[in-house]
Amino acid sequence: MAMTLEQAQRVGYTCLKALLRFAFMVANNLVAIPSYVLYLIVLQPLRILDSKSFWYIEGVLFKWLLAMVASWGWWAGYTVVEWGDDVKAVSEDEAMVLVNHQATGDVCTLMMCLQDKGTVVRQMMWLMDHIFKYTNFGIVSLIHGDFFIRQGRAHRDQQLVLLKDHLEKYYRSRNRKWIVLFPEGGFLRKRRETSQAFAKKNNLPFLKHVTLPRLGATQVILKTLVAPQENGTPSGGDAVRKGSKAKGLQWVIDTTIAYPKAEPIDIQTWILGYRQPMVTHVHYRIFPVKDVPAEPEALTNWLYQRFIEKEDLLTHFYETGAFPPPQGQTKAISREMTLSNLWLVAIQSFAFLSGGMWYCLFQYLYHCLF
């Protein structure tokens, strides 16, 4: 069937918009990432004299970089609606965030919806596949102290040892609060068949919208970051409610991302904006870390149960377009996550002004030297 003039105009407009967005993203990266690196190079004396202040500044710059990524989706109409527990209530505490993984857009969605959660973004640590080390954002994550994990049975034991060492070296010394990981160990479409075969062999539930999680990284994080018991109760949980300042990991935030019609968004769409505006839905459930078992078998069962619950949540969402209400309640309450366009423009302007400043400075130094 021949394309009508109106259809051709629509396709042409979409292609032009995608090209302009891509050009802006490239320019954004070319000024923002080098500026981040150069600011931190100049601030190295402060790192020696006052490490806490240095990592505070680094965290602010890191949050701004993630806000720039969020702006690409926000301005394309890719917004977020949140459900379940209000994680702002624990934004100043240490928490482990468990997220289902469907596509590369999951990370972008988290970068967006955590922007308005206080200091979380600048004080968080990400666990991500080692391939991201070689992307344009890899140098930023390396400096920030994120951990790149290599997948595969051959690397598993060594990676867990490296993760433990990494947490002991960087997590508290850089005042990290939240640590984000994807326990499924890969995208849903890549792991679903293997997970379902494993479930059938071991008499476990058949899951379609998530896969069975892996224990390793979760167990290492809990063992390394949960504070020793105080009077028989781990730090956190009740201690927070009593007003005392607990130390160590205090919460596990079970996070479930749902896309309309089960069609996840990828990083290419986030950048180019060729998909129609859409709303991604994010559901949170907070568990006190004292309620999470430490023994491997019990922890495995607990983690499996979280993903079985995710399966139920997603099944309900895909059937009704909404997440189910919490137990004991009749209605689920959703919250629209918003970003300030003025703030996003200010951050983007700062990035381009910084790029211009560094360019002029290097030009001046070049002429002075040569």
d(CA 134, CA 131): 6
Using the predicted structure, report yes or no on whether residue 23 has a pLDDT greater than 90: yes
- DSSP secondary-structure letter at 263? -
Q: Are strands 178-181 and 95-99 parallel, antiparallel or unpaired?
A: parallel
pTM metric for this prediction: 0.89
Using the predicted structure, report yes or no on whether residue 296 has a pLDDT greater than 80: yes
Q: How sure is the predictor about 230, in pLDDT bands with cuts at 50, 70 and 90?
A: very low
Q: How far is CA 354 from CA 35, 243, 367, in A?
A: 6, 42, 20
If you search the block for the tokens 């069962």, which residue do you land on? Answer: 301
Using the predicted structure, report yes or no on whether residue 244 has a pLDDT greater than 50: no
Q: How sure is the predictor about 229, in pLDDT bands with cuts at 50, 70 and 90?
A: low
**Region 20-32 average pLDDT:** 94
CA angle, residues 76, 82, 86, in degrees to nearest 5: 140
Q: How sure is the predictor about 336, in pLDDT bands with cuts at 50, 70 and 90?
A: very high
Q: Which two tokens stand for residue 57?
A: 């500044």
Q: Are strands 334-337 and 78-84 parallel, antiparallel or unpaired?
A: antiparallel
pLDDT tens-digit profile of 249-263? 999 999 999 999 999
Evaluate whether 93 touches 177 at the Cβ level (below 8 Å): yes
Find, among 100, 192, 185, 106, the residue nearest to 150 by Cα.
Answer: 185
Tell me which CATH code domain 78-227+247-339 carries.
3.40.1130
Q: Which two tokens stand for residue 139?
A: 């140098």
Using the predicted structure, report yes or no on whether residue 163 has a pLDDT greater than 60: yes
Q: Which range, of 9-23, 191-205, 219-233, 331-345, averages the lowest pLDDT?
A: 219-233
Using the predicted structure, report yes or no on whether residue 19 has a pLDDT greater than 70: yes
Domain locations in the chain? 78-227+247-339
Q: Is 72 helix (H, G, I), strand (E, B) or coil?
A: helix
d(CA 149, CA 345): 34
Residue 295: alpha-carbon gap to chain centroid: 27
Q: Is 345 helix (H, G, I), strand (E, B) or coil?
A: helix
Q: How sure is the predictor about 327, in pLDDT bands with cuts at 50, 70 and 90?
A: confident
d(CA 180, CA 293): 19
Residue 198: alpha-carbon gap to chain centroid: 27
Max Cα–Cα distance, the chain, nearest Å: 76
Mean pLDDT of the chain: 89
Residue 220: the pLDDT is 95
Using the predicted structure, report yes or no on whether residue 13 has a pLDDT greater than 60: yes
Percent of the chain with pLDDT over 70: 94
Residue 137: the pLDDT is 85
Phi, psi of 252 (to 5 degrees): -115, 125
**Region 311-326 average pLDDT:** 94
Phi, psi of 213 (to 5 degrees): -75, 165
Alpha helices (H) along the chain: 5-42, 44-49, 51-74, 105-113, 138-144, 156-166, 188-201, 216-225, 238-241, 267-272, 296-320, 341-369
Question: Exposed (0-12), middle (13-18) or buried (19+): which is 115, by Cβ within 10 Å?
Answer: buried
Residue 231: the pLDDT is 33
**Region 166-176 average pLDDT:** 94
Phi, psi of 259 (to 5 degrees): -110, 145
d(CA 12, CA 60): 39
